[in-house]
């Protein structure tokens, strides 16, 4: 009878643990990184002197919790991270492209140029009148104002992008350090324990956020510790075991997002192909391109208009004076 009661008690304890895990699954259904748990039950062997009623059919003496399992698929998780990384690159790129578009639209350089050339046609139609000349000077000031407004707006966008990129690099650096600490914990815990499941949840949460920030390649060892490389399987190592490389970076004068990886060897320049940092890298170059295009346009306009002015005569019979003193000033 005592053996029968102990078998029953082992079943109650085992399913009490299973019920507790079910409660955790319900409570953490929306927790980032959490994977649904399960309980692995093992039979307790009968052993010498524990045969129930001394029959030959006795095979065990109850049930015991053999470990906690996680319903997680490493391949599916990798695919989700890759998709998330690509999506964040696109989102970041679109956001900054829209800002460039708004800046140029508000400056209305095209409208200012149209008004300038319309005023020039007015002078050609009536060279001796003063009103068209006054209108041309005002239109020239309008061009200078529009280009100055565009440059100011794009410079502000470049500064904001640099701040955003700096914050993203710092966050990724901190996440990498956190993942290294989680790897160290996974190397110490017992396989199948609730603590191992918790650390694996934390590992996946960190990896998911890291993939949103940059393009990564992840491999897991038999203890669940993650090795993270940048971009692909042969890329620079960001995290391995309990060690994490350091990331620093800034947007340089040409608009490039220059990121440096400092591991155990010499510093290495890296560039993320996807994730928020990939999108910010693209956007930084586009902003720099637009600023360079506006500068080139202003310089060419100044040169061409001043040359035409010099080839003509003013109302006083003297050669025409320069309309633009500088690329963006009239």
At 43, is the secondary structure helix, strand, or coil? strand
Q: State yes or no: pLDDT of 103 exceeds 70.
A: yes
Q: What is the pTM of this model?
A: 0.79
- Tens digit of each residue's pLDDT (9 = 90 or more) over 41-87: 667 765 554 444 444 455 567 766 666 777 677 778 888 899 999 99
Instruction: Name 95's Cβ contacts closer than 8 Å, sequence gap at least 6.
Output: 279, 283
Which CB contacts under 8 angstroms, 24+ apart, belong to 263-270? 263/236, 263/237, 268/236, 270/230, 270/235, 270/236
At 317, is the secondary structure helix, strand, or coil? coil
**Kind and range of the H or E run holding 195:** helix 194-213
Q: Is residue 290 a contact partner of residue 274, using CB atoms and an 8 Å limit? A: no
Q: What is the DSSP string of 209-234?
A: HHHHHS-EEEEE-TT--EEEEESSTT
- Tens digit of each residue's pLDDT (9 = 90 or more) over 133-175: 888 888 888 998 999 999 999 999 999 999 999 999 999 999 9
pLDDT: which is higher, 259 or 129: 259
The rounded distance, in Å, linking the Cα atoms of 274 and 212 is 8
The pLDDT of residue 266: 87
The rounded distance, in Å, linking the Cα atoms of 300 and 294 is 10
């Amino acid at each position: 009878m005592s053996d029968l009661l102990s078998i029953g008690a082992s079943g109650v304890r085992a399913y009490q643990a299973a019920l507790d895990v079910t409660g955790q699954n319900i409570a953490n259904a929306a927790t980032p990184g959490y994977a649904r748990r399960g309980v692995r039950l093992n039979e307790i062997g009968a052993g010498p002197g524990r045969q129930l009623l001394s029959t030959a059919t006795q095979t065990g003496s109850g049930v015991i919790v053999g470990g906690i399992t996680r319903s997680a698929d490493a391949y599916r998780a990798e695919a989700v991270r890759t998709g998330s990384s690509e999506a964040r690159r696109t989102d970041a790129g679109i956001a900054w492209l829209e800002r460039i578009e708004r800046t140029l639209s508000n400056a209305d350089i095209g409208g200012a140029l149209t008004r300038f050339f319309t005023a020039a046609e007015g002078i050609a139609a009536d060279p001796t009148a003063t009103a068209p000349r006054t209108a041309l000077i005002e239109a020239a000031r309008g061009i200078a104002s529009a280009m100055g407004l565009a440059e100011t707006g794009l410079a502000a966008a470049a500064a904001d992008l640099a701040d955003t990129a700096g914050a993203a690099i710092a966050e990724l650096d901190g996440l990498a350090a956190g993942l290294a600490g989680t790897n160290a914990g996974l190397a110490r815990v017992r396989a199948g324990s609730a603590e191992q499941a918790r650390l694996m949840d934390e590992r996946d949460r960190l990896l998911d956020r890291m993939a949103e920030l940059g393009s990564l390649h992840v491999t897991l060892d038999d203890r669940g510790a993650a090795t993270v490389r940048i971009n692909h399987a042969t890329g620079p190592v960001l995290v391995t075991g309990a060690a994490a490389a350091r990331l620093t970076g800034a947007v340089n004068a040409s608009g490039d997002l220059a990121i440096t990886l400092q591991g155990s060897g010499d510093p290495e320049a890296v560039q993320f192909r996807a994730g928020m940092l990939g999108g910010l890298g693209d956007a930084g170059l586009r902003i720099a391109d637009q600023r360079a295009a506006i500068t080139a346009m202003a310089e060419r306009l100044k040169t061409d208009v001043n040359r035409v002015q010099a080839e003509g005569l003013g109302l006083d019979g003297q050669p025409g004076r320069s309309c633009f003193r500088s690329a963006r000033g009239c």
